[in-house]
Amino acid sequence: MAQVLEFKLPDLGEGLTEAEIVRWLVEVGDVVAVDQPVVEVETAKAMVEVPCPYGGVVTARFGEEGTELPVGAPLITVAVGEPASGGSTDAPDGPVTEGTRDTPAAADGKGSGNVLVGYGTSEAPARRRRVRPDRPAPAPVSAPAVPAAPAVASANGGVRTAEAVDGPVAVISPLVRRLARENGIDLRELTGSGPDGLILRADVEYALRAAAAQGRTATATPEPHPRVAPGTAVIAPAPVPAPATAGTRIPLKGVRGAVADKLSRSRREIPDATCWVDADATELMRARAAMNAAGGPKISLLALLARICTAALARFPELNSTVDQEAREVVRLDHVHLGFAAQTDRGLVVPVVRDAHARDTEGLGAEFARLTEAARTGTLTPADLTGGTFTLNNYGVFGVDGSTPIINHPEAAMLGVGRIIPKPWVHEGELAVRQVVQLSLTFDHRVCDGGTAGGFLRHVADCVEQPAVLLRTL
């Protein structure tokens, strides 16, 4: 007799609370093995293939491609056990939720070894949990209505509706709470459209759109005409143009939405400033050509610039910091996790090279190549895109000279590199044509003053102009 196990969307880590179904990898009726990927989802960080910790026959899928599901929503159900004749399975009355019963993988003490946060079958559960009744597939998000009953605060700081005081917390996502708080939305006035009344980001966004529409309607409501004396000239008010409704609307979600949220937060919280300098990169280009002519792995310009960055950060550690606003403290970091901006078909992403300060130029180049290829193919993991402490932005690949980029929150600085082109330059007292690049540094003015930022940028420029300077910092 088979058991029907329900597999839910797991916690994918890094504080992510929802994911969009991009592509199903299995059909209903397919036989799946333990840890076989069953669906490809897109989070705000990356594309992820989600493996199923159960082996058996897929009996149901929940959600169409393009549907956004919250963490904990059901993905598929799998019939586990010996199939009956004709290939069908003898299932119990309702599905067993993940972790409710001992799975075949857990029965012998062996598990899938899967590492996604929030689920796994590496060991048998300590006790059986309560079997919950079967739930229907997630319905499309509907317009949240104002509940008739008041809401009460739960013990852990969440909000529950009055009818569901003994039920689950109505909002669990810190991102949803922050979005509501920043826009003045009272979560107690919303009814969630998620499972068990869970308030989703879509519910808060709907409330924001509804409030905006109500404000426009109130503005457009004509006021009663005042009474005027006979013979008095009446000047008609100028017509108010109707709000534009034409055009294409593109949802800010997935990678684009995550970028929008992070950049908006950076502009709100960080008092940034930018300084820049032109540098003669002729000697750096000659040094790179000589290194590549000597054989071995090719050294990229980005790897050389990254090595210069880590050396400069060792001399000016103030720029490898973050600000703890609640504690009102600057946290100076011990390790340099170097992010670099990469433009892909899915938008701008910033992969992170871990422990860049401990890598040589060749090691940095190899890691840049690996992460760039993963960005191009859409296989970057959430861990590849988070935890950066300083960002290197080579916008020169777009054919531009300079920029004032927005700092990648919660970092404190970003070095920008423009295109390297021949320009007239005074070299050794004579006018010559040299390879010139513009370097810019955008920094958080809370972590340092202009003297420190200028010193960092000048040291970078000196290393670009005279690569031998770098040898003194090794």
Please give, one letter per residue, the 3-state secondary structure of the chain: CCEEEEEECCCCCCCCCEEEEEEECCCCCCEECCCEEEEEEECCCCEEEEEECCCEEEEEECCCCCCEEECCCEEEEEEECCCCHHHCCCCCCCCEECCCCCCHHHHCCCCCCCCCCCCCCCCCCCCCCCCCCCCCCCCCCCCCCCCCCCEEECCCCCEEEHHHCCCCCCCCCHHHHHHHHHCCCCHHHCCCCCHHHCCCHHHHHHHHHHHHHHHHHHHHCCCCCCCCCCCCCCCCCCCCCCCCCCCCCCCCCHHHHHHHHHHHHHHHHCCEEEEEEEEECHHHHHHHHHHHHCCCCCCCHHHHHHHHHHHHHHHCHHHCEEEECCCCEEEECCCCCEEECEEECCEEECCEECCHHHCCHHHHHHHHHHHHHHHHHCCCCHHHHCCCCEEEECHHHHCCCCCCCCCCCCCCEEEEECCCEEEEEEECCEEEEEEEEEEEEEEECCCCCHHHHHHHHHHHHHHHHCCHHHHCCC
Distance CA 88, CA 58 (A): 11
Residue 272 bears catalytic tag: no
Q: What is the pLDDT of residue 231?
A: 52
Q: What is the pLDDT of residue 173?
A: 60
Q: What is the pLDDT of residue 197?
A: 75
Task: Locate CATH 3.30.559.10 in the chain.
Answer: 271-471
Task: Locate CATH 4.10.320.10 in the chain.
Answer: 151-208
Looking at 186, 324, 355, 449, which residue is catalytic? Answer: 449
- Single-letter residue type at 60: A
Distance CA 29, CA 19 (A): 24
Report the percentage of the chain scoring pLDDT > 90.
41
Report the percentage of the chain scoring pLDDT > 70.
70
Band of pLDDT at residue 59, cut at 50, 70 and 90:
very high
Q: What is the pLDDT of residue 235?
A: 53
Is 162 a residue whose pLDDT tops 60?
Answer: no
- Fold (CATH) for 271-471: Chloramphenicol Acetyltransferase (3.30.559)
Q: What is the pLDDT of residue 109?
A: 38
Q: What is the pLDDT of residue 95?
A: 53
Q: What is the pLDDT of residue 152?
A: 38
Residue 449 bears catalytic tag: yes
Highest mean pLDDT among 186-200, 203-217, 380-394, 449-463: 449-463
Mean pLDDT computed over 60-77? 89
Band of pLDDT at residue 93, cut at 50, 70 and 90:
very low
- CATH of region 151-208: 4.10.320.10
Band of pLDDT at residue 407, cut at 50, 70 and 90:
very high
pLDDT in tens, 204-248: 888 888 887 776 555 444 545 445 455 555 455 555 555 555 788
Distance CA 407, CA 273 (A): 10
Higher confidence at residue 129 or residue 425?
Answer: 425
- Single-letter residue type at 268: R
pLDDT in tens, 289-326: 999 998 888 999 999 999 999 999 999 999 999 999 99
Q: What is the pLDDT of residue 100?
A: 41
Mean pLDDT computed over 65-92? 71
Q: What is the pLDDT of residue 20?
A: 85
Distance CA 443, CA 413 (A): 4
Is 405 a residue whose pLDDT tops 80?
Answer: yes
Is 121 a residue whose pLDDT tops 70?
Answer: no
Mean pLDDT computed over 85-92? 44
Higher confidence at residue 167 or residue 205?
Answer: 205
Q: What is the pLDDT of residue 15?
A: 58
Closest CA to 218 of 240, 187, 188, 191: 240
Q: What is the pLDDT of residue 453?
A: 97
Q: What is the pLDDT of residue 230?
A: 53
Q: What is the pLDDT of residue 103?
A: 42
- Fold (CATH) for 3-107: OB fold (Dihydrolipoamide Acetyltransferase, E2P) (2.40.50)
Residues 6+ apart with CB under 8 A from 234: 228
Q: What is the pLDDT of residue 292?
A: 92
Mean pLDDT computed over 275-294? 95
Q: What is the pLDDT of residue 69?
A: 87
Q: What is the pLDDT of residue 53?
A: 87
Q: What is the pLDDT of residue 440?
A: 97
Highest mean pLDDT among 21-35, 142-156, 284-298, 439-453: 439-453
Task: Locate CATH 2.40.50.100 in the chain.
Answer: 3-107
Is 159 a residue whose pLDDT tops 70?
Answer: no
Q: What is the pLDDT of residue 244?
A: 56
Looking at 186, 324, 427, 445, which residue is catalytic? Answer: 445
Is 136 a residue whose pLDDT tops 80?
Answer: no
Q: What is the pLDDT of residue 445?
A: 96
Average pLDDT, the chain: 77
